């Protein structure tokens, strides 16, 4: 998400009208809809996000719909090239074919003249998104064991779902349209490294970027055993689930979902768990931790070394579009501030990669334990 500017005046009125018209396409043209409390939600970097409430009247029936609106940012500052249509289709497929808890998508609009850019309207799920309150003795620490147990069960259901059922049209095979192939695990890995390496000239804005190239080549050379491809969330981290009463009430932010190796989600959560000062991977403690319980449910026997590998792999996956975005700003292709701000989070990633790669003199990495 991008931190969104507060809509005012005519802009607010236009967006409220656009939301109402999109809802009527789903709920019926005979609805009376009033939009209240439209306001931005500050957050990440990839989408402009707003919340509001729709008061829907159909005859004698009245309904209150809490909503989230996700809009694409201006093209020049876009980081992840993803599709609101694909995100809508995936969410609705998961709702229809699994028990994975997701927010309903009411629809999407790709015509930029309606919302100002491509957008989608989602149910605002019930639950607490401040997952840090589950850890470190915080208010909901008593729920951590059961919430993390359920989170692992949700992830396993996603990873074991039949790809042909969840993605019958193949929209998740190469959602960024960068040449990824998914006919087999080896083909997926080969084409992913081809993509990483093809982008290198677009991300070299500092001599330290050579570490990225080394990471890509090392990952390609030291790949682990094959595992069946799955639908992966693509941004599985402590900020992307809500919880309530000891259960995960919603897994959110599906824009980076794709067909991939399920260990990618485990590696990325491992990274973000450390950076967020949460302890997702330590739970459920009664099962020996997240990976242990995941292995118990799947029988896949994922090892620590494999999680370490996909920690680096996941960093490369998100690092390519982020570093490319920074490079475009430094090269003067636009004057937007956001991409300069991204340097704050991306710059420390380079020495962290050096630690993961075991460079001489690197200190042990808290995320993986890798050292020289």
Count of structural domains, the chain: 2
Quick one: 84 and 187 in the same domain? no
Question: What average pLDDT does this structure show over 42-56?
Answer: 84
Q: What is the pLDDT, as a whole number, of residue 7?
A: 54
**At a CB cut-off of 8 Å and minimum separation 6, what does 202 contact?**
324, 327
Backbone angles phi, psi at 318, to 5 degrees: -85, -25
Question: What average pLDDT does this structure show over 11-36?
Answer: 92
Strand partners, 52: 67
Gap between the Cα atoms of 114 and 54, Å rounded:
18
Backbone angles phi, psi at 202, to 5 degrees: -90, 0
Q: What is the pLDDT, as a whole number, of residue 204?
A: 73
Spatial contact of 40 and 88, defined as CB atoms under 8 Å apart: no
Query: What is the span of the domain harbouring residue 210?
Result: 131-356
Does the pLDDT of residue 91 top 60, yes or no?
A: yes
Q: Is residue 364 part of a domain?
A: no
Going by pLDDT thresholds of 50, 70 and 90, the confidence category of residue 1 is: very low
Quick one: 254 and 105 in the same domain? no
Gap between the Cα atoms of 343 and 326, Å rounded:
7
Q: What is the pLDDT, as a whole number, of residue 3?
A: 42
Does the pLDDT of residue 210 top 80, yes or no?
A: yes
Give the chain's mean pLDDT: 89
Tokens for 227? 């595992």
Q: Is residue 4 part of a domain?
A: no
The backbone region for 230, taken as left when phi is positive above 0, alpha when psi lies in -120 to 50, beta otherwise, is beta
CATH number of domain containing 63 = 3.30.200.20
**At a CB cut-off of 8 Å and minimum separation 6, what does 111 contact?**
none
Q: What is the pLDDT, as a whole number, of residue 120?
A: 97
Q: Which of 8-12, 37-41, 342-346 has the lowest mean pLDDT?
A: 8-12
Q: Is residue 152 part of a domain?
A: yes
Quick one: 199 and 240 in the same domain? yes
Parallel/antiparallel/unpaired status of strands 61-71 and 119-123: antiparallel
Question: What average pLDDT does this structure show over 34-50?
Answer: 85
CATH number of domain containing 265 = 3.90.1200.10
Count of Cβ atoms closer than 10 Å to residue 39 Cβ: 11
SS3 129: coil
Residue whose structure tokens are 């779902």: 161
Q: Which helix (H) or strand (E) holds 150?
A: helix 144-160
Q: What is the pLDDT, as a whole number, of residue 369?
A: 42
Quick one: 195 and 340 in the same domain? yes
Going by pLDDT thresholds of 50, 70 and 90, the confidence category of residue 183 is: very high
> Over the Cα atoms of the chain, what is R_g?
21
Quick one: 235 and 307 in the same domain? yes
Tokens for 118? 């491509």
Strand order in the sheet with 32-40: 32-40, 48-58, 61-71, 119-123, 105-109
């Amino acid at each position: 998400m991008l931190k969104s500017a507060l809509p005012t005046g005519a802009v607010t009125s236009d967006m409220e009208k656009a939301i109402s018209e999109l809802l009527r396409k789903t709920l019926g043209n005979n609805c009376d809809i009033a939009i209240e409390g439209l306001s931005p939600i500050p957050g990440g970097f990839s989408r402009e996000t707003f919340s509001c409430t729709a008061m829907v009247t159909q005859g004698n029936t009245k309904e209150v719909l809490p909503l989230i609106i996700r809009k694409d940012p201006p093209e020049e500052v876009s980081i992840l090239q993803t599709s609101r249509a694909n995100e809508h289709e995936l969410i609705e497929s998961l709702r229809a074919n699994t028990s994975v808890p997701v927010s309903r998508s009411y629809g999407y609009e790709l015509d930029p003249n309606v919302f100002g850019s491509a957008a989608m309207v989602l149910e605002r799920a019930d639950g607490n998104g401040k997952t840090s309150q589950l850890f470190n003795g915080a208010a909901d620490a008593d729920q951590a064991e059961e919430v993390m147990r359920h989170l692992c069960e949700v992830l396993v259901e996603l990873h074991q779902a039949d790809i042909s059922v969840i993605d019958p049209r193949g929209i998740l095979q190469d959602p960024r349209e960068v040449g990824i192939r998914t006919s087999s695990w080896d083909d997926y890995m080969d084409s992913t490294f081809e993509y990483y390496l093809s982008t290198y000239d677009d991300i070299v804005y500092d001599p330290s970027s050579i570490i990225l190239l080394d990471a890509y080549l090392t990952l390609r050379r030291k790949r682990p055993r094959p595992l069946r491809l799955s639908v992966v969330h693509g941004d599985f981290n402590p900020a992307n689930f809500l919880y309530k009463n000891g259960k995960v009430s919603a897994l959110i932010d599906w824009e980076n979902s794709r067909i991939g190796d399920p260990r990618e989600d485990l590696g990325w959560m491992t990274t973000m768990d450390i950076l967020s000062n949460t302890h997702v991977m330590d739970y459920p403690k009664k099962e020996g931790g997240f990976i242990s319980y995941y292995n118990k449910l799947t029988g896949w026997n994922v090892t620590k070394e494999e999680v370490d590998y996909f920690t680096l792999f996941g960093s490369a996956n998100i690092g390519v579009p982020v570093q490319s975005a920074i490079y475009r700003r430094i090269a003067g292709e636009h004057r937007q501030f956001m991409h300069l701000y991204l340097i704050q989070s991306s710059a420390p990633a380079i020495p962290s990669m050096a630690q993961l790669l075991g460079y001489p003199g690197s200190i042990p990495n808290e995320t993986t334990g890798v050292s020289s």
